[in-house]
Amino acid sequence: MPELNDPRAGDFEDGSADDHQHWLQAHGLPAPNPGGESQLDALRRYARAYRKIADLSQGRILAVAHGMPIAWLRSAHRSAAAGGSGRPRADFADPGVAFAGTPDRMNSEELVAAAAILERLAAQSG
């Protein structure tokens, strides 16, 4: 599912994560990466993908994704579990997602709740 790719970094592709992190801190989530997409556009894309997955009728689904979509989902899931309090966050330089890590287990309601929090964040920040 291409919606779960990392944000399109544009001019920062294959560059230094530190340079990109500094640029993000200076310009914020709404600013598109030069030649790429904004972090908010990526959040909206992730939320659409998570809603699509939640709508699937199969009993269990394994979704393998890049680090940033997983980091945002985990953060939004924690926020949803806390009643929607707290602002989800993900660190571009170190999303904290281990390669071949332990799967995250969520039911469709939890996935939809996390997607809604990502959508709210994108709407408030944009």
CA distance linking residue 109 with residue 90, whole number of Å: 22
Q: How many domains does the chain have?
A: 1
For the chain, 126 residues long, give each residue's pLDDT as a single digit of tens: 889 988 888 898 888 888 888 898 899 888 898 999 988 899 999 999 999 999 987 778 888 888 888 888 988 988 888 887 777 887 766 676 766 677 888 889 999 999 999 999 888 876
Give just the sign of the alpha carbon dihedral 118, 110, 87, 23.
negative
The token pair at 40 is 């908010």
* pTM of the shown model: 0.83
* Residue 70, domain extent: 2-125
